[in-house]
Structures are given as C-alpha cells and as structure tokens.
Chain A
Amino acid sequence: MFYVSCSMISKEEVKHIAKLARLGLSDKEIQKFQKELSSILDYMKKLNEVNVSRVAPTSHPFELENVVRLDKGEKLDPKIKKALLGQAPKTKDGYLKVKSVL
C-alpha cells in the first residue's frame, strides 16, 4: 500500500521546516525525517483523487456563534498570577525575563 516516494523532500527543506517550527533537530533526526516525511506525504497524495472544486473547507465540525463579552479586563486572582509566573524559568518584577532578541 505504501512505497518510498520517488520525490523525496530535500535535507534543506527539512531544515527549513524545522526552523519555521523553532525545533532543534540532530543530524540523525533530519535524515530520519527526510525519509519518513516523504513517505507520509506521499500517502497524503491520495486526496488528489477527490474532486473538491465546489466544496467549502471545514475548520470546525459545527457552526458555532462567536462568544463575546464586554471589553473589560477581569481581575486575576493574585494567587493564580503567582502560580502562573512561578512556572517560568526566569522572571523579574512580575514579568517574564528572556535573553536578548537581537
């Protein structure tokens, strides 16, 4: 049912996707994913058999109405705020602290 694709995606492409996902990968993983993603994506080509030219896409199983509320902030329980910030590796004065961006 499955076969190794003749149109393998390239190593560079795998690296590019990993960068988009901000996902570090080892060389071994890059090689592994190059093969695996190619054969999985090949399997997806099955969808080309279906004519969907007049079909609308579904993002959600049912039509839901927007849920709205007044544009007013709610006060956060300080206990929860502390618990949430307490999960962060680094904080300063109630803010998250990160390394320099540039």
Chain B
Amino acid sequence: MELTNLTISQAHQGLKKKEFSSHELCQAYLEKIKKLDKKIKAFLVVEEDLALAQAKKADSLIAKGKNISLLTGIPVALKDNILVEGLKCTAASQILKNYTAPYDATVVKRLKGENVVILGKTNLDEFAMGGSTENSGFQPTRNPHDLTRVPGGSSGGSAAAVAAGMACFALGSDTGGSIRQPASFCGVVGLKPTYGAVSRYGLIAFASSLDQIGPITKTAEDAKSVFDVIKGRDKMDSTSAEFPKIENLKFKIENLRVGVPKEYFVKGIHPQVEKVIRQAIKKYEEMGVKVEEVSLPHTEYALPVYYILAPSEASANLARYDGIRYGFSDSSGKDLMDIYLSSKDKGFGLEVKRRIMLGTYALSAGYYDAYYLKAQKVRTQVGEDFKRVLKKVDALFTPVSPVLPFKLGEKIEDPLSMYLVDVYTVSVNLAGLPALSLPVGKVGKLPVGLQIIGRPFEEGKILEIGKYFDKIS
C-alpha cells in the first residue's frame, strides 16, 4: 500500500484501525517531498519538525482510543498566503520575504482543532496574481504530469503538491479561478466556496469582494470533509456568513437538471478540451441527469469586468506594504515618500506592479465612472444572468479552462494572453457562487477539469454531483 496515494477517508480508516500511524503517514509524505519536490518546486518551505510533532500528538490521541475526527493526523499543505502562527508567510513576494505570521488564520485554527499535520507552505503567483505560478517572487512550480508545463495558478503549489502525492490535501484561495484552474491543470479536485462561506481572517488580501479560501483534494468526498471543517461564520471576518440551513440537499440523480451555457463553447476553446468536457456531460446524461442548453448573455463581459475590479481592489489592499509597519523597507532615501516609493519598487514583482497601476488608473479622478463604476454595473448583469438560469436548473456544467496546461514561458511576456485563460472562472467570483473543479479526463497526459457551478450555499449539492463521477471512474 502506497500511503501517499490514500484519500483522506482511506487514510482515516487506516489510522483508526491502526494499520499505520500518523507518524508513518507523515514520514511517507516527507520522503515523497524530498524525492520529488526538487523538480516540481511546489513547496516554499517544508516544516518537518512541526509536522512530525503534530503527527506524534495525533498518534497519542489515537492510542488513547479517542473517537478521532476525520482529519486527525492527516497531512496538509497550505498556500503561502494563509497565516500560521510563528511560520513565515510570504505570499510568494520579496516584500514579505521575512514576515512571520503573528497569529493563525481562522481556517488554520479550525484545522489545528482537528489535529491535522501541517507539512509546509506552498508556492503561488505573487499575492495570488496570475494563472501559472510563474509570477512567484521565488521560483516557478512545475506540473507533475509534465515538468515542462505550468501547474496553473495562483494556487499552483497546492494543486501540484496534492497531484504528486506530496500532501493528502491542501488549501488554496480563489479570486478569479485560483483554486479551480490549477486543480484542473493538475488533475485534482478544487472547491471555490460561496462568497462568505469560509472566513478570510488571516488570508493575505488580494481583492476582498472576490477572495475565498477552499480545499484542493484527491476526491469530491474529501473536498466535502475539509469544507465542513473550515466553513461557517467567524466574528473576525464580518463578510463571513452564517451557513443557511438548506432543506434537504439530497436528490435523486434522475431529478437533477443541469444547464450547459452555450457562451462557454465558442471560439477560443481547445477542441480536445471541448471533447473531454462533452464526453463527461454525456456520462452524466447516461446516469439520468437532465442536461439542457442555457444562455448567460453577459459571459463575454465578465473578463474585462474582473480585470478592472480585481486590480482596483488590489491597489487599495496592497497600499499597506509601504515599508513602515511590516515587510521589506528601504530607508536609504531622504524622506517618508522615498521609503514608500523605493520599498514598493524593490519589493513588488512586475505583475503586482502592473495590477496596482491598472487598479489605480481605474479608480483615479476622471476615469472612475468610465472604468470602475461601469464595471460594477456590468457585474450586476453578470450576476443576474446566473440568478435567472439557476432558478431553472440546479447547477451548470462548463469547462474550467479553455486551454490545456501550457509551457513555462509561453504566456508570461503577454499579460493579456495570460488573463484570457481565466475566461470561464471569473464570472463565478463576480457572482459569488460556489464552483467545483473536477478531473474528468485527459488529453494525452494532460488533465482536463469540468466546472460544476451551484447556487449560493449549495456546495453540498455540487459536491454530491462530483461524487457521482468519482464513483463511475
């Protein structure tokens, strides 16, 4: 039995039956990291001592015969924009290279409450800005299925770690697709929860009306196990919501109605990707799901809306890295203004600067109405499209990405071509909906993900739909 291939529920059974210890499980992952991560570079830092200590603690709970929770003793990797007290947290930026987290993010507190084993912090595009993990201020990560290709981004480190068996599960964050797209590129499951479903306290902010934390796992069942632990209201995040009691999410598969938006299958989609997605949808139809074509007419405007609103919010959120309170500071200049200018100049990478410039432009006097306000209005339209369609159908099937994992360096010089990869994922963030990225096939050795979009707070339903596919494959 290869321990690093086990899902959360399989590993839990093994721990409970004492077939192996959490210490052994943790060792197996650490060895896998040592063997593979020199090439993949998914981790920015591996916390071997901490992990083994946590594993020992989990083992003592198991030895006492306590009724252990599902995540007890299970090794996890965390995206390096999520704070763990006492550990460095860099957001893959030089500006936070020496920043140590003074407290735990709420999601980390909840995972620690379940006695998980924290293996380390994973790589990302700097401040989660990008779709390839090439924008990391430290190192690019590579796709475990083909080392010449990107793992997607921005949670590329987390997705690559789970795909390569270097973590049993991981957490990522998703502002415009940053959990779903790397999950799709790496052939693992990624859940972007409903806006407000998971507390962002202790997540380094990118665009606050869009950011959500979510799980990256091997199966849809595992994603549910992790989501159930991290979800729920938190008084430290006033945008987090009390999870509404939704009546009976159980359903018969033959009563399920799923829409396929025609605007997601227009020119620009790789024909082989479309083929895999169509085949997956057909499999659901064979299971009895009623599939119908629907229309989301504002789809083509979602990308420009997103690339105005996200950089605008980012330009405000990143103003705090001014060299005064924390992070990198260059005080060689003569006055306060020099510290601001120089600390940001030397601390931020090119993509972060580009987005700060774009956002500041869209918010500046004379352009606010034409760009920012206009984008906010079209955002309303994008949301209305979903509301209307999701009254008729329970969920939507779409591709996660129009393209296969691309080569390192292929898009990095042309920012617009990189932004276009997000075309199927950003709408979901604008509308605040939950969405699952589910591996449903391959083109050659490269994985393809199906996106399942649900109604607000109906994560339970889209995860259940995902589980049906896991069962037949």
Contacts and interface: CB of A to CB of B under 8 A. Distances in A.
Interface of A: 2, 14, 17-18, 20-26, 29, 33, 36-37, 39-41, 43-44, 46-47, 49-50, 52, 55-62, 64, 67, 80, 83-84, 87-90, 96, 98-101
Contact of B103 (A22, A80, A100): A80
B325 A101 contact: no
Contacts of B377: 50, 52, 55-58
Given A61-B383, A62-B196, A89 B331 contact: yes
A46 B360 contact: no
A88 B326 contact: yes
Contacts of B356: 21, 23
B357 A52 contact: no
B416 A99 contact: no
A89 B415 contact: no
Given A25-B353, A88-B324, A101-B336, A47 B375 contact: yes
Interface of B: 99-100, 102-103, 195-196, 209, 238-239, 241, 298, 300-301, 304-305, 307-308, 315, 319, 322-327, 329, 331, 334-342, 344-346, 348, 350, 353-354, 356-358, 360-361, 364, 371, 373-381, 383, 415-416, 419, 430-433, 456
A82 B342 CA distance: 27
A52 B378 contact: yes
Nearest to A79: B102
Contact residues of B: prevailing secondary structure:
helix
Contacts of B326: 84, 87-88
Nearest to A22: B340
Contact of A21 (B327, B350, B357): B357
Given A23-B356, A99-B336, A64 B304 contact: no
A50 B381 contact: yes
Contacts of A39: 416
A80 B85 CA distance: 10
Nearest to B297: A50
A36 B415 contact: yes
B345 A64 contact: no
Q: Which of A25, A43, A64, A87 has the most CB of B within 10 A?
A: A87
A21 B301 CA distance: 27
Given A17-B357, A89-B329, A96-B324, A43 B416 contact: yes
Contacts of B431: 61
Given A22-B319, A46-B300, A37 B357 contact: yes
Given A29-B353, A47-B304, A83-B102, A20 B209 contact: no
A58 B307 CA distance: 15
11 contacts: A23-B348, A24-B342, A25-B353, A40-B415, A50-B377, A61-B383, A62-B241, A67-B238, A80-B102, A89-B324, A96-B324
Nearest to B345: A24
A67 B235 CA distance: 9
B209 A60 contact: yes
A58 B329 contact: no
A58 B380 contact: yes
A88 B304 CA distance: 37
Contacts of B195: 61-62
A62 B357 contact: no
Nearest to B420: A1
Nearest to A36: B415
A23 B416 contact: no
Contacts of B381: 50, 52, 55
B385 to A, nearest CB: 12
A94 to B, nearest CB: 14
Contacts of A29: 350, 353
Contact of A18 (B342, B346, B357, B419): B357
